[in-house]
Structure formats: structure tokens, C-alpha cells
Chain A
Amino acid sequence: MTYSALTRRYFDCADGAGVLTGPRVARGAAGSRAQGTWLQFDLAWRLPTAPPLLGAAPAPQIEAARFLAFACPHTIAVASWVVECSVGRAVSAKLPEPVQAIAHRFDLPVAKLGRLLIVEDAWAAAAAALIVAAGTGPAPRIAGCET
């Protein structure tokens, strides 16, 4: 297996690997170690200091993010990149880019596209947990996953 320079860089550094603790931390995971890919995101959040628009709930912002991954180099690299991109942004259930764009960015083989869906699921689970914890929206349905 060969890896793109970007994949290699994010896999080798794996910045953002770890966990967060504290009252304002939400966690979401997807996949299964037994199946070969498991991913967890921890998101620390804060409410924005600027007043919200009339009628809108304050959108929490991601203050810090970490990930854990039992996964292939592509998945670890993408998770590290997602964490890097997310800090300072308003929380969203969506990844920073569509899955196809991320696949192109990291030069993922077609056979690995399913792993990106696990990244997407783990991120969505963490974002949903954050929204519930911050009390800024309804609790979305989360697919079952190993924790």
C-alpha cells in the first residue's frame, strides 16, 4: 500500500490524538475494533460571546477536539485533519468537506471509501452529543456503535 504525502504527513504526526475531559466535552464514536475500524471524537465546546441573532439559539463553537482511532493510516490521517480543521468553528454534524472531496484530498483508494463513512458517523455522533449537552437543539438519532 502506498500513501499520498498528505496522508503520510497526517498519519505520522497524528496531531489531535487523545481524549478530552471536563463538563463541556461531548463524545461520539463509530465502528468496531473487532471489525477493524473504530473511531472516537471528543469535542470541547463553548458558547459564542457575540449575542445570537433574534430567534436563533446560540451555536456552540468547538474549542478543542481530539480523536482516538483503531484504524488504517488513511482513517487516522483523515481524523487528524478533521480535528485540525474543526477548532474554532461552529459545531456541525457535517465534516469540514464532503466525503468525496476528502477522499480526493487524501487520495484514498476506492476500497477505503467505507472507512470515511465511519469517520463521518463518529463525527456526527460527537456533534449530536455536543448539541444535546449544550442545550441548543434537539437530540438527533445516533446509530449504535462501540464505545
Chain B
Amino acid sequence: MSLPVYLDYAATTPVDARVAAVMAGALTADGVFGNPGSSSHAFGNAAREWVERARAEVAAAVGAASADVVWTSGATEANNLAIFGVAAHRQSEGRHLVTARTEHKAVLDPCRELERRGWSVTYLAPDRSGLLDPSQVGAALRPDTVLVSIMHVNNEIGVIQDIAAIAGVCARYAGSGHGGARLHVDAAQSVGKCALDFTASGADLMSLSAHKVYGPKGVGALLVSQRRRVHLEALQFGGAQERNLRSGTVPTHQVAGMGAAFALATQDSDAVEAERRRIAALQERLWNGLEPLGGVLRNGAPAHSVPHVLNLSFADVEGESLLAAVSPFLAVSTGSACASASDEASYVLRSLGRDERLAEASLRFSFGRPTREADVDRAIEIVGQAVRRLRMIGGHG
């Protein structure tokens, strides 16, 4: 039996062979294996050069300064460091946060934890397409708001929030003499898929992940704007690495891989645009192939989304059975509770107003560099057969 068609690139991507080659150069005795914190010998100095080159590559890819980059183990840690770090640093100024109901759990769960510690959190509801109106943020800001955390590209539906406009709202509120909420942006899904400029966006903090962009798992970064004089408290201690914000030996091979992956994903703007158009055509091909089934609902706002994600709900189909029917042949994500650790249907789709049955009977298709038209055509065939069969079994055939 052949492997399923992989259309789950928003979950993770394979490491690019060129990235793997870079990483291999920082592992073994004949490579740059030294501890980048060892400044007393050549091995450590060589490793530190690699780490700083990777820092510059990541910064260049996202319009940040090298000094903004703080290495982490991934976007989840970056989100935790941003939220708990700012909260700890500014708790004397206020204990209120603003976020959205459609954020990743790596933002929502830290917010819930702060609520347990006595903080107040406002959860904004996006419209039915998943978009926030920046004025919603403005209306939620209070004199005691210390942090706003809004994701750039939504991981389930691909919708792109207008970060610059939200940053503008935060800046105007601060300029009017009220407090001054910092803006944190989870941009784990953004790199290489849409324009991303940390400095120009006006954000104060930004979370990044390597493995969504053909880099290794286990490494990410939190951008902490030096220009905007952002301060936060560390969450772990023991070595004072990363400007004392993230202690622990920096894994040279991991960060070198992230740097290489980010450089590959962004350095050739013509190639990036060509790939974006190719992916958009694949997305449209899939939609055109499945829409004739009838009762297929597109989640999100196509005009305000990355083309790499297509999230569909299938009416008159039970969610777990849909996933069970397609999963031997197709690797996709689902809104079904049976596939989630939290045992609930997709809270993102529920936030968009989808009822529980439709939220469960949803599939997220996400495309990547290796995706070809034949993969999309096979997905159309697999999903079409499953939906028709389950509707027949359910009396809707």
C-alpha cells in the first residue's frame, strides 16, 4: 500500500535537503560542533559565528534586526515567553490582555493560565470569515491593558489579520495618554507564504517557527523589538544566553537549520511569488474539484488568506467517519473532536459560527513545495468518494 497523499503542510513540512546539509555541518567532530557559548577557544567561536549568521538570516527574512532575535525551542515557547514575559514585567502597570478566540492554543492556554492567576483577558470574536476588525482591538483596550496578542496567519483557515492596522490602533491608544499595550504576533504560519516585515508592521514581539517552512522541528524564535525598547522577564534561568531571556545552550545545528530555511523561503522574491501563484492554482483546483459535491462550505475569507490553506466543511457527513474514510489515503487535518487532544470540535470553526456538526466535518488541506496537481486530483477523488458514500449511508445520497 502506498503512502497517503500528504496535504498537511500547515502542520509541518519535511526538512529541505539543503537545510539538512547545513545542519549536518554542525553535529559531528569534523564539523562545527562546539558550544557557541565557549568563547575561550576556536570551536566555540566557530559555532558562535554560525549562530550569529543564522540570526542574521532569520532577521533578514522577516524584516527584523539581528538583535531582535531570541532563539527558542519553537513558536509555542516563543508565545509563552512573550505572554508570560511581558505580563511579569508589566504586572505593576496593569493585568489585562487582549487576544482573539481563534488564536492557537499556544496563545490561548497561556492566557487561560494568567486568568487563573487573577489576570483579566478579553477574547475578541472575529467575523464569520475569521477576520478581526482592528477597531475591535481598540474597543477592547483599557488603561490597564499591557499586551495584545493576535496571530498573523491563522493555522486552521489561513486568514491573514491586518497586523499593521492593529499595531496602529495600539499606538494611537498609547499616544492618547492611556497605558500602552505591547503587540505580540504569532507568525508561525507566515514565513514564505505572505509578506512579513516585523519592523514595518509595528509589532513589538513576534513568534516564529522553523518547521513550518522546511526547517527542523524543535527550534523557533521570539522577535523582541530593540528599536521599540520592549522589555520582558525571562522564564528560565541558568546561563544567561540570549540576552538573559532564554538560558540554555543554543543548539547550533537547529538554529543554523532555521536560518537556512528562512533564507531559502524568502531570499528570491520572484521565486516566492511564483510559488505563491502555483499554490493558489492548486488550491483553486481542489476547490473546483470538491465544490460540485454540493454542501461544501469554504471556511475563511479567500481574498484575505494565504493560498496554502483550504479549509472545507462538508454538510450531511459525520466528522469522525469522514476522517476515518479518507485517512488511509490522505494526510489532512480535521476539525473532528476525535483527532484533537482537547476532545472538542474545532474551536476556530465554532468561533466562525459553524455549528458543531459542520465544525467536526471539516478538513484542512494545506499545500507545500512538493505538492503537485496529481496530489490534488487524488485528494479530490478520495474525498469525493468518501463524502458520497457517507451521505448514502446517512440517507442523504
Residues on A close to B: CB < 8 A? 1, 3, 11, 14, 17-19, 33-34, 36-38, 40, 68-73, 76
Docked pose: A3 CA to B109 CA in angstroms: 30
CB pair B394–A70 under 8 Å, yes or no, is yes
Closest to B345 in A: A36
CB distance from B388 to the nearest CB of A (A): 12
Q: Is the interface of B mostly helix, strand, loop or mixed?
A: helix
CB pair B395–A36 under 8 Å, yes or no, is no
Docked pose: A40 CA to B377 CA in angstroms: 34
**Which stretch in B70-78, B274-282, B316-324 binds the other chain?**
B316-324
CB pair B339–A1 under 8 Å, yes or no, is yes
Q: Can you sample 14 A-B contacts with CB below 8 Å?
A: A1-B338, A14-B393, A17-B392, A36-B356, A36-B357, A37-B318, A68-B395, A69-B394, A70-B395, A71-B318, A72-B338, A73-B321, A76-B321, A76-B393
Docked pose: A70 CA to B360 CA in angstroms: 13
CB distance from A125 to the nearest CB of B (A): 16
Q: Which 10 A-B pairs have the closest CB atoms?
A: A70-B394, A68-B395, A1-B338, A73-B324, A72-B320, A17-B393, A73-B321, A70-B318, A14-B393, A69-B393
Docked pose: A40 CA to B394 CA in angstroms: 9
Q: Which residue among B316, B356, B360, B393 has the maximum number of chain A CB atoms within 10 Å of its CB?
A: B393
CB distance from B336 to the nearest CB of A (A): 8
Docked pose: A34 CA to B153 CA in angstroms: 32
Q: Give the residues in chain B near A68, CB-CB below 8 Å.
A: 393-395
Q: Give the residues in chain A near B392, CB-CB below 8 Å.
A: 17-18
Docked pose: A73 CA to B356 CA in angstroms: 18
Q: Give the residues in chain B near A11, CB-CB below 8 Å.
A: 321, 324-325
CB pair A14–B389 under 8 Å, yes or no, is yes
Docked pose: A73 CA to B323 CA in angstroms: 10
Q: Give the residues in chain B near A72, CB-CB below 8 Å.
A: 318, 320-321, 324, 338
Docked pose: A71 CA to B338 CA in angstroms: 13
Please tell me the size bucket of the interface on B.
10 to 19
Docked pose: A69 CA to B338 CA in angstroms: 18
Docked pose: A34 CA to B356 CA in angstroms: 9
Decide yes or no: A19 and B395 within 8 Å by CB, A14-B389, A70-B318 being known contacts.
yes
Q: Give the residues in chain A near B324, CB-CB below 8 Å.
A: 1, 3, 11, 72-73
Docked pose: A70 CA to B391 CA in angstroms: 8
Docked pose: A76 CA to B320 CA in angstroms: 11
CB distance from B367 to the nearest CB of A (A): 25
A36-B360, A71-B321, A73-B321 given. 13 additional CB < 8 A pairs?
A1-B324, A1-B339, A14-B393, A17-B392, A37-B318, A38-B394, A68-B393, A68-B394, A70-B318, A70-B394, A71-B318, A71-B394, A72-B338
CB distance from A2 to the nearest CB of B (A): 10
Docked pose: A70 CA to B358 CA in angstroms: 13
Docked pose: A37 CA to B356 CA in angstroms: 12
CB pair B320–A34 under 8 Å, yes or no, is no
Closest to A1 in B: B338
CB pair B320–A73 under 8 Å, yes or no, is yes
Q: Give the residues in chain B near A38, CB-CB below 8 Å.
A: 394
CB distance from A92 to the nearest CB of B (A): 24
Docked pose: A19 CA to B321 CA in angstroms: 20
Docked pose: A71 CA to B325 CA in angstroms: 12
CB pair A40–B338 under 8 Å, yes or no, is no
Docked pose: A33 CA to B393 CA in angstroms: 13
Q: Give the residues in chain A near B339, CB-CB below 8 Å.
A: 1
CB distance from A108 to the nearest CB of B (A): 13
Task: Tell me which residues from 283 to 326 in chain B have a Cβ below 8 Å from any Cβ of chain A.
Answer: 316, 318, 320-321, 323-325
Closest to A11 in B: B324
Docked pose: A99 CA to B176 CA in angstroms: 67
Docked pose: A36 CA to B345 CA in angstroms: 12
Docked pose: A34 CA to B358 CA in angstroms: 10
Docked pose: A37 CA to B357 CA in angstroms: 10
Docked pose: A90 CA to B361 CA in angstroms: 38
Docked pose: A18 CA to B397 CA in angstroms: 10
CB pair B357–A1 under 8 Å, yes or no, is no
Q: Give the residues in chain B near A17, CB-CB below 8 Å.
A: 392-393
Q: Give the residues in chain A near B318, CB-CB below 8 Å.
A: 36-37, 70-72
Docked pose: A37 CA to B321 CA in angstroms: 11
CB distance from B387 to the nearest CB of A (A): 13
Q: Give the residues in chain B near A37, CB-CB below 8 Å.
A: 318
Decide yes or no: A1 and B321 within 8 Å by CB, A36-B357, A70-B394 being known contacts.
no
Q: Give the residues in chain A near B323, CB-CB below 8 Å.
A: 1
Docked pose: A14 CA to B386 CA in angstroms: 12
Docked pose: A128 CA to B325 CA in angstroms: 33
Closest to A37 in B: B318
CB pair B357–A34 under 8 Å, yes or no, is yes
Docked pose: A3 CA to B392 CA in angstroms: 22
Docked pose: A99 CA to B166 CA in angstroms: 56
